[in-house]
Each structure stands twice: as C-alpha cells, then as structure tokens.
Amino acid sequence: MKVLLARLSNAVAWNAASTIALQGGTFLSALAVANLIGPDRFGQFGLVLGTAQTLAAVLQLSTGIAATKYVSEFRDKDKRLAALALRFCGRVSLVAGTAGMLALLAAASAVATVVLRAPSLVLDILIASPVVLFAVLSGFQLGALAGLEGFKSAARILLMLAPIQIATTSLAAYYFGVSGALAATAMNLGLRSLVCSRLIQIEAERQWIFHDKSNRQLSREIFFTFLLPGSLSGLTAMPALWIGTVELSKSSVGGFEQVAYFNAAFAIRAMLMIFPWVLSSVGLALLSNSLGNEKRAHFRALLFSNLVITFASVILGVSLVTFLGHWILRLYGPNFVVGFPVLQVLMVSFAAEALTLPVLQALISHARMWSIFLLVLLPRDAILVGCALYWVKEHGAVGLGAAHSVAYGCAMLITVLLYRLLRRPPEREAGQDSML
C-alpha cells in the first residue's frame, strides 16, 4: 500500500505541475487580455475562441481518454497493443482536427453572420481556426502522456512554455487587440502540440513501445467502445455550454459584457478544477494499469483515495472563492467585480463535477463509455441547454451559471447511482460495453 500511495503522490505532483502550467498560463493570459482590451472586446475574444474550442471538443472523439486507458492497460503486458493504441488514436486526432480547421475556415462568414450575429468577427474566426486542429491534437497528446505516465518530462516542458504563452498573448493583445490575442493563442497551441508530439515519441521509445502491425480487433474495440460514444459526447458537451453562451451574447441584459463576466467566473472555476482534473488524469492511468495487471485491491484503494482527496480540494476551493472571490475577479478589471454572483453560483457545479470525476474514471477504466454517454452526459447537457434557454433571457450570466450548476448536480447523482449498479462489473469482452 505504501508503494501504491508513493506512486500516486509522485504522479499527482508532476501532473499537477503540468496542469498548473497549462491552466495557469491560460488563466494569466486571459487576465492580461481582459485588462488590455476591456470587457466588451474580451467577450468577443471569448466567444470566438469558445466557438473554435467547441468544434475541437466535438472532434476530440475521446482520443485522449482512449489513449490513457489502453496505453496504461497494455504498456506492461503487451507493448505492441500499447503502440497500436497510440498510433490509432493519433491518426484519428490528426484527421479530425484537420477536417475541423478546414470546415471552420470555409464556414467563417456564415458562423459570424448567421450564428453569432456579429459579421465583424469573420476575420477573427478565420484567425482562430487553427485552434481546432491544435486543440484536438493536444487533447490526444496529453492523454497519451498520461497513459505512458510521462508526467515528469511533460511538466518540465510545459512549465517552460507557460511564460512564452503569457508574454506572446499579452503583447499581441496590446498591439493587435482581439485578432492578435487569437493569433497568439493558436500559435501557442501549435507550439505545445509539436513539443508534446516529441515527448510522446521519447517516452514510448524509453519504454520500448514501438509501432507494429495493425491489430484490427483492438482497433474496432477502441473505435466502438471509446471513439464512437466519445464523438457523440462531443456533440453535446461543449456545444451545450456554447449554445448558452451564444444565447447570452444576444440577451438584452448586457450582451458581450455578460459573456465576459461569465467567462471570467468560469475561468476561475477552471482554475479550481485543476487539482480534480490532475487527480482524475492520474487516477485513470493508475486504475487502468491496476485492471490490466489484475490488481483489484489496488483499484479499490486508488478509488477511495481519489474520492477523499477530491472532497478536501472541493472544500478548499469553495472557501477560497467565498473569502477571495471579489479580489480575484478584480484582477480582470474593476468592472468584473459585478460578476461575483455568477462565480458563487458556479461553485455548485464545481463541487458537483469535481466529486463526480473519480467515479467516472472508475467507470471509464471498465470501458463503460456508452453507459456514461447515454445515462450521464446526454441528460446533463440536455438539462444545461434547457435551463440556459429559459433563464438567460431574464437573469443573464447568473442564469447561465445556475443552468450549469443544476445540470452538473444532476449528473453527479446519476453517476453515483450508475456506479452502485455497476460496482462489480463483469469481465469485459473485446468491443463490448454492458448497457443498462
């Protein structure tokens, strides 16, 4: 048990450094942009970037999760299958990301004019289109590095990239406004993607994981068990939040300023989610590795430890926002303090999502993606859209925050019930997922 806890602590520490570098760089860059261009234009920046990120989320196809699960599971007992999982998920990510970038380039005018009702944003959408490709690739690459447990090497490189991201985004926003900030964001994502690609190659070679002949059975399992339900999940998850944000931008209670207030509060929520996400990523890798090596006792111990640590992080995060929320929002600019009620409401969704993650990782490690999509994610996103369309018109950003919290609260309850029903899952057959 001591060895297991030491391994968990070491992995969490290095993955925390990686995630802090990623999220911290994004958070500080957003702070700089908000102060340099003001609430209204920051709302435009967030809306355009959110559009590109939403398309990337749709095309992510859960390749990152699949890479983490299968590489972790096979890298000790069958390196050829681990190599296949890396190659297959990488190719799918490259194709999907490229298609998404080209689609956004072709549809930029229609998206700005018809969907966002802001024709002036056409050029900004064109500039942001590479974000789709690089975001899809980064999602897979970070998942692959987690599966290889290459947390230490990833942390060192990403900590070096964070200052570059902050500096370039700030300078671009200062000289070129929204367009410059979007161009710098795309450039930094591209740089990260190149570096992570090289890290995966180095780490795979270190563990003697090399490309081998294709295994159609495993390819089918990855596709039907993870990528297909993952693609369906992508069609609902980020788009649900994006629909609410677009509706908010059209509201009569502030438009782009309301989007800016919500984005600022949501960015703080994302910072609080760093540790739960770190623990989730490490947890999935270690849980899958435990299953692959048939260490059931380790699996249960890891799940319990994740739940306890996550609960403690939720208490700490909510306490920080309660006492320091006004001050943190002021970092975006004096006008952003009025968004504190939005931040307070979002704390409910923060707690719900964080406490759901450890249980979701346990289900994912057993390849329960179809059950998760049909019974957890689809209802959650439907509730989010329904509540947002109803509440945003009257309550603005607070209404969107409330919709988010209700949706994630319901998802937490459903996830706990689902795990209780499946806590002793049968042995998985290739390409199958027991449906409820």
Taking the CB of residue 106, how many other CB atoms lie within 10 A of it?
A: 11
Average pLDDT over residues 82-107: 91
Per the model's pLDDT, the better-predicted residue between 265 and 211 turns out to be 265
Cα angle at 267 between 261 and 269, to 5 degrees? 105
Tens digit of pLDDT for each residue in 104-141?
999 999 999 988 888 999 999 999 999 999 999 998 99
Can you tell me the distance from the alpha carbon of 31 to that of 172, in angstroms, rounded to the nearest whole number?
14
The predicted model scores a pTM of 0.69
Note whether 164 and 188 are within 8 A (CB).
Answer: yes
Above 70 in pLDDT, residue 84? yes
Residue 261: both structure tokens together: 């207030």
Taken in order 131, 280, 150, 201, the sign of the CA dihedral is negative
**pLDDT value of residue 226:** 66
Residue range 312-355, pLDDT digits in tens? 999 999 999 999 988 989 888 888 888 899 999 999 999 999 99
pLDDT value at position 256?
78
Mean pLDDT of 163-183: 94
Q: What's the pLDDT at 376?
A: 92
For position 292, what pLDDT does the model report? Answer: 63
Q: Tokens for 399, please give them.
A: 């209404």
Helices of type H across 331-377? 340-365, 369-372
Query: Which distant-in-sequence residues (6+ apart) come within 8 Å of 355 by Cβ?
Result: 307, 310, 311, 314, 412
> Per mean pLDDT, which range of 17-26, 256-265, 406-415, 422-431 is the poorest?
422-431
Distances in Å between the Cα of 274 and the Cα atoms of 24, 53, 267 are: 9, 18, 11
| Range picked from 16-30, 150-164, 391-405, 411-425 for highest mean pLDDT | 391-405
Residue with tokens 């908010």: 248
CB of 186 closer than 8 Å to CB of 130: yes
Per-residue confidence (pLDDT) for residue 88, from 0 to 100: 85
The answer to whether residues 315 and 354 touch, using CB atoms and an 8 Å cutoff, is: no
Give the pLDDT of residue 405: 95
